[in-house]
Structures are given as C-alpha cells and as structure tokens.
Amino acid sequence: MNKTRVLIALGLAAGIGLTTLAIAGDDASIFQGADLQLGRKLLKEQRCAECHAKKFGGDGSDVYRPLEKIKTAGQLRGMVESCNTELSLGMFPEEVTAIAAVLNKDYYRFK
C-alpha cells in the first residue's frame, strides 16, 4: 500500500475531514497506475451519472462545475470516497482511485 493510501485510510479511521485528507495527495501522482478502464466501468455500474442527475439536474455533469470547488487531486479522490461511504457502495480503495482518475482525466486535469 502506498503512503497516500495509508494516510487516507488512517485519516478515515480517525474521522479526519476531507480538507485534511487532501494534504496527503495534492498532486495527480495519487492516480498513477490507476485502472482507467475499471474506473469507467464502475462509473456506469454504480450509476454515478444517474445519482448526480437527480441531485444536480440535466445529465449530472453539473456536479463538476464550477471546477474550482475541488482544488486538488486529493480532494477529488476524497469526494469519490465520500460517495462510496455515504451510499454504502462497498468499493475498495483502488476502485475509488480508478473512478477519481477517470474524473481527473476527463474533467479536472490535475497535474
């Protein structure tokens, strides 16, 4: 397990908020080696777009606007983990990272 994942896991166990967790992964290196194909598959299987459409209207892509809401790669991953937790999706850390990596590639483009 890499350092970032350990810090995130420890932060979640300790109940630390997403803002603090973002420090553990401010650059997109946290997405290095992520399985983008798996991320795209999970986005469909977990019906992320449907949920976002209910909450934000339209096709659900408005959840990504304004892009300034999420300022770091760590915050992006943290938001995906938040959905995983709140909705009891049961995804593993590498699956959460895969989804966040796809969102980064398609919308956020953190370096």
6-10, 25-29, 97-101, 103-107: the lowest-pLDDT one:
6-10
Residue 91, CA distances (Å) to 62, 65, 69, 80, 83 in order: 24, 25, 24, 10, 10
Q: What percent of the chain clears pLDDT 70, i.e. is strictly above it?
A: 75
**Tens-place pLDDT, residues 55-90:** 888 988 888 776 678 899 999 999 999 999 999 999
- pLDDT-derived band at 17 (thresholds 50, 70, 90) equals very low
Give the residue extent of every domain in the chain. 3-108
The tokens describing 20, both together, are 């603090």
